[in-house]
Amino acid sequence: MIQELHDIQAGAGATFAELTTKEIVPVSFGNDAEAIAATKQGAALYDRTHWGRIQISDSDRLRFLHNQSTNNFNILKPGQGCDTVFVTSTARTIDLATAYATEDAVLLLVSANRRHQLLELLDRYIFPMDRVELTDLTDTTVAFSCLGPQSTQLLEKIGATELDNQPYATHKLINFAGIDVRVAVGSGLATPGYTLIAQAGDAANLWKELVKAGAVPMGDRVWEQLRIEQGRPAPDFELTDDYNPLEARLLHTLTYDKGCYIGQETIARLNTYKGVKQQLWGVHLSGAVEPGTAVTIGEEKVGKLTSFTETESGFFGLAYIRTKAGGEGLKVQVGSVSGEVVNVPFLSS
């Protein structure tokens, strides 16, 4: 079923690569500049099928997720959603996920390289009395993101109305040309847009219809560039055992008054006593540099570069910077190149 989608993408010029997690993704459609322009002036279409989709169902689903991650699930109504962070018992980051509550389940959209870890983690915390059921829907569904200022008009062409100006992660199930599609507000980045989830058997037809409606196909290489430019932290780069959600500045995912959950004590203590010693920032760079390179001021190490990309306007990275060193506007050295610390749109200020 997914092969049919890949055949259509290949016919449109896509080149593919295998991720470390074994998923095959379209890296580029040979139109990177056009795709970037579409995210700013039109609508780009990105295939997120390699991301994980985990369904949590049965009557204890909201209470269970409420206790497993940083956001408030008990207040979610069907048709609503939120971003949330899964953390270790010491509040170290595992993954940034998006949750969509339906009438009878919650669907989690998680990073490809955290899907199996999260399935194991969640399963470990289901006790005999819990009425919770986990289902991995990754292989039976697809996910696409539509990014750009024309995304609303494009989706209106396929009947996805009533979501314009709705809160983030608001979602609705629509039927378009015989295809059931869950359309949710939010592209996964700071760029305005929508996320679409459908059955794998409908993947090829849905992709074709979206392109026919005017969406410009966009490969994983452009997504990664935009992710870094906009500051979305990613597992194995910004989300690791070295950092917590406060340091990653994922403040929109944290609910301080929700009661006990995994990692809650550490997060509450950091917040109460202003204990955040480093924070994630963007860095304009004067040249290319490898992730992992130390960030310094003079002889003093003040942080570490976690991601790097080259954009049409120069070199850019994400770095954790010591809070005491400063923030926006700070001049730093990253290896042999100079840098200036800047804010990024995805992160809470």
Alpha helices in the chain (DSSP H): 2-11, 32-41, 61-68, 115-124, 151-156, 203-212, 220-230, 264-272
- Helix, strand, or coil (residue 141): strand
Give the pTM.
0.97
Please report, in angstroms and rounded to a whole number, the separation of the first and last CA atoms in the chain: 42
C-alpha 308/C-alpha 286 separation (Å) is 12
String of DSSP letters for 268-313: HHHHHTT---EEEEEEEESS---TTPEEEETTEEEEEEEEEEEETT
CB atoms within 10 A of CB 25: 23
Maximal C-alpha separation, the chain: 63
pLDDT in tens, the chain (349 residues): 799 999 999 999 999 999 988 899 999 999 999 999 999 999 999 999 999 999 999 999 999 999 999 999 999 999 999 999 999 999 999 999 999 999 999 999 999 999 999 999 999 999 999 999 999 999 999 999 999 999 999 999 988 888 999 999 999 999 988 999 999 999 999 999 999 999 999 999 999 999 999 999 999 999 999 999 999 999 999 999 999 999 999 999 999 888 889 999 999 988 887 889 999 999 999 999 999 999 999 999 999 999 999 999 999 999 999 999 999 999 999 999 999 999 999 995 4
Residue carrying the six token digits 């200020």 = 349
Length of the chain: 349
Separation of CA 20 from chain center: 18
